[in-house]
Amino acid sequence: MLRYALGRFIQFIPTLIGIYVLTFFLMRVLPGDPALFLEGDHGDDQSLSATRARLGIDEPLSTQFMIFFTDALHGEFGRSFITRRPITEMIGQTMGPTLALGMCAMLIAVFVGIPLGILAALFHNSIWDNITRLIALIGVSIPVFWLGLQLQILFGLQLRLLPISGAGYDEHLVLPSIAASLGMLAVLMRITRASLLEILSQDYIRTAYSKGLPFARVIGRHALSNALMPIITVWGTGLAGLLSGTLLVEVIFSWPGMGRLLVDSIGQRDYPTVQGLVITFALIYAALNLLVDLLYPLFDPRIRYA
């Protein structure tokens, strides 16, 4: 397994280099000048030139890229154009809130979506199945920004039950977690239903019933355990996407995470911060996908990594 994990990491290196290159050059082609943002409308040509020299953006693109690439190889992304703080320090401060929001949303999606998917499969074509399919359809159709605004209006402004913005590991997490979790909840619900329905039609399930095994044991030990593989796959990719996809949620609810920092940095043309955040998201995504691959043998003993 260690050799497999090392091979997967080596395979990811060209992808990571491609992300480095794309992030660097895409930021340079965006309209806007960091020096003009810092100096304002009243900056003259001399002050703008001095600011560009101080930021290092007056150098040729090849020189800027080599500096950025060398720093990234050493785990450094330079300093922010705006705050002059190290990028790694800023990412470290915002990663905690993003991970907390992502984990809470993931727990809601798993502990609501999977049971509803099991319920839909066990009562196929019943009223419960129709309700869960409607929930899944709504979950994949509603834009997260619209849902976040509606939650703020209903629970924050009208009912006054929960705060609509701000940070805190208490009731402040409730509305952002619900808004971020709905899409993943709907996908988990649908894949659980489809996977379990396929397993329930197999011959060994009918054999287990004919042997007189209890219903709960047949479903829990024989059916659900064999239906977990596609669920784990969807969960892993959904979790990786969830952590990097909380951007809109963090902006709507003023959550001080990496997503909001990324949006602010793009608006300020803060090249080093955007580059560092994009690479961090890419590394998180790759690590979570590798974790899912390594979890497969725990749920299916037939899988072995050479």
Per-residue pLDDT at 243 = 67
Same domain, 232 and 93: yes
Any domain includes 78? no
How do residues 131-155 score in pLDDT, each as one tens digit? 888 888 888 888 888 888 999 999 9
In CATH, what number is assigned to the domain containing residue 192? 1.10.3720.10
Q: What is residue 305's predicted lDDT score, i.e. its pLDDT? A: 56
- Does one domain contain both 58 and 94? no
Q: Is 50 in the same domain as 134?
A: no
**Residue 253 belongs to domain spanning:** 88-299
Query: Rounded to whole angstroms, how far apart are CA atoms 22 and 28?
Result: 10
Could you tell me the two tokens for 233?
Answer: 């796959």
CA distance linking residue 55 with residue 82, whole number of Å: 10
- 66 and 148 share a domain? no
Q: What is the pLDDT of residues 237-250, one digit of tens each?
A: 777 667 666 778 88
**pLDDT tens digit sequence for 81-97:** 888 888 888 988 888 88
- Residue 305 maps to a domain: no
Residue among 106, 103, 28 nearest 63 (CA): 28
304: in domain: no
Using an 8 Å Cβ cutoff, are 289 and 240 in contact? yes
| Total-model pTM | 0.81
H-assigned helices in the chain: 2-29, 34-39, 45-55, 61-73, 87-108, 114-122, 127-141, 144-151, 174-200, 203-210, 215-217, 224-226, 228-244, 247-252, 258-267, 271-299
What is the number of domains present in the chain? 2
223 and 113, same domain (yes or no): yes
pLDDT in tens, 263-279: 888 888 888 888 888 88
Q: Which of 73, 108, 132 is the last residue of a domain?
A: 73
Q: Is the pLDDT score of 301 beyond 70?
A: no
